[in-house]
Amino acid sequence: MPPAAISGECELKVKVNFSIDYKMQRKGLKDILLLGDPRLYENCEPVLESELELVPLWVADLAQAMQEIREQYQFGRGIAAPQLGIMKRLIYIDLGQPRIILNPEMYDLSPEMFEIWDDCMSFPNLLVRVERHQSLTLKYRDENWHRQEWKAEGAESELIQHEVDHLNGVLCTMRALDDKSFRWVGR
């Protein structure tokens, strides 16, 4: 067999094995990156249309991690991909109905702000007092690569800002109102 044919055959096996290995190594609560992990401070890369076949795998991991957080700590409405070390602009939100958000961009952030004690899966026993925009418009692509728009207010607006911050390497600890804006909670 000519060397070129052998090379092509090997490349195909590597791709197949990667997919199988990824499916076998499901992620969950144990894999959530914790405060101080340098990956939490990195900017994420956009999800490419050519990566859509990986989105269901990533979303399954995000949903599993969020379910485990809910069971153990009794909170969790959304999770950003980098919290599981998936350095892509992907957010999974479940407010009664799952929503998959790819490559989000925030617009029309209101000048009206509100304060909230923010929680985070990357430090589940710490609350941080932050200020967030009362409303915003989110433009993004869904899991089918269709353009979507979400006008959010209040708690939804806060959640979106928190998760988009993760995609930009920003944690709510970096948005604390002052040095007394931290509260430890035993959950």
The whole domain housing 160 covers 28-184
- The pLDDT, as a whole number, for residue 111 is 98
Q: Which residue has the higher pLDDT, 159 or 15?
A: 159
Which of the four pLDDT bands, split at 50, 70 and 90, describes residue 25?
A: confident
Stretch 137-162: mean pLDDT: 98
Q: What is the DSSP string of 133-168?
A: ESEEEEEEE-TTS-EEEEEEEHHHHHHHHHHHHHHT
Dihedrals phi, psi of 149, to nearest 5 degrees: -140, 140
- The pLDDT, as a whole number, for residue 148 is 98
Check pLDDT > 70 for residue 15.
Answer: no
Whether 101 is covered by a domain: the verdict is yes
Lowest mean pLDDT among 13-17, 84-88, 138-142: 13-17
Whether 180 is covered by a domain: the verdict is yes
Q: What is the mean pLDDT of the chain?
A: 89
Is the dihedral angle over the CA atoms 81, 60, 147, 111 positive or is it negative?
Answer: negative
Question: Mind telling me the catalytic residues?
Answer: 163
- Per residue in 35-83, pLDDT (tens digit) is 999 999 999 999 999 999 999 999 999 999 999 999 999 999 999 999 9
- The pLDDT, as a whole number, for residue 17 is 40
- Per residue in 85-128, pLDDT (tens digit) is 999 999 999 999 999 999 999 999 999 999 999 999 999 999 99
Residue type, 151: K
Total count of domains within the chain: 1
Whether 9 is covered by a domain: the verdict is no
Whether 109 is covered by a domain: the verdict is yes
Q: Is residue 14 a contact partner of residue 21, using CB atoms and an 8 Å limit?
A: no
Whether 135 is covered by a domain: the verdict is yes
Question: What are the tokens at 47?
Answer: 């999800």
* Residue 23 CB neighbours (<10 A): 10
- Domain holding 148: CATH number? 3.90.45.10
User: Does the predicted model carry a pTM greater than 0.75?
Assistant: yes
Which of the four pLDDT bands, split at 50, 70 and 90, describes residue 8?
A: very low
Whether 153 is covered by a domain: the verdict is yes
Whether 3 is covered by a domain: the verdict is no
Cα–Cα–Cα angle for 84, 142, 112, rounded to 5 degrees: 80
Whether 4 is covered by a domain: the verdict is no
